[in-house]
Amino acid sequence: MRLYPLCLLLLLGACSDRASEAVIPPPRVPADLLQPCAGYTGPMPQSEGQISDALIAEARGRSCANGKLAAVGEILAVPILED
């Protein structure tokens, strides 16, 4: 009975191909990084104050999106398997 696990491992090893590729799972990206960032969504600005508010909101939205893109880029750049 002790030889059974040893024989099983030998049989399973004989069934595999030495040149087979390892299946690498896709990297896990947190769900909050996949949510869109809000920019300016209001009506067309009519005054300088409204234009200023719209520009600030749009800059914050772009900054948020660029930060998320950088974080996703770092996640995708990390090698999963190191040889």
Chain segment 5-17, per-residue pLDDT in tens: 777 777 776 666 6
Closest CA to 72 of 28, 18, 38: 28
Give domain status of residue 27, yes or no. no
Residue 83 has a pLDDT of: 45
What is the enclosing helix (H) or strand (E) of 50? helix 48-77
Token pair of 46 as six digits: 């009519």
Q: How many domains does the chain have?
A: 1
Residue 47 has a pLDDT of: 94
Give domain status of residue 24, yes or no. no
Predicted structure pTM score:
0.61
- pLDDT tens for the chain, 83 residues long, are 666 777 777 777 666 666 667 777 888 889 999 899 998 998 999 999 999 999 999 999 999 999 999 999 888 886 655 54
Token pair of 31 as six digits: 């769900």
The whole domain housing 53 covers 47-78
